[in-house]
Amino acid sequence: MLLTSDIKDPLEALMVYRDRDAVEKCFDALKNQLDMKHLRIYSSTSMGGKLFVQFIAFILMSVLLKKC
């Protein structure tokens, strides 16, 4: 059962809920599979570089999972 005071259409509420679930699964994959729990970086340049590499790795992992 989904309860909302914002969205009146039940199909739209279900689509929003499923989209949210997909986003949460992506963040879970970033944190656990790609080891993004702790950045351990002290400069903003290094952090930006690490986030970029992790983002590219996540895209590649997603593409490979879809092909499998």
Q: Is the pLDDT of residue 2 over 60?
A: no
Of residues 13 and 45, the one with the higher pLDDT is 45
Residue 41 pLDDT: 76
CB-based contact 36:30 (threshold 8 Å): yes
Three-state SS for 8-53 is CCHHHHHHHHHHHHHHHHHHHHHHHCCCCCCCCCCCHHHHHHHHHH
The mean pLDDT of 19-41, rounded to a whole number, is 74
How distant, in Å, are the alpha carbons of 5, 14, 20, 23, 25 from that of 1?
13, 10, 15, 20, 20
Percent of the chain with pLDDT over 90: 0
Residue 37 pLDDT: 65
pLDDT tens-digit readout, 33-45: 767 666 677 888 8
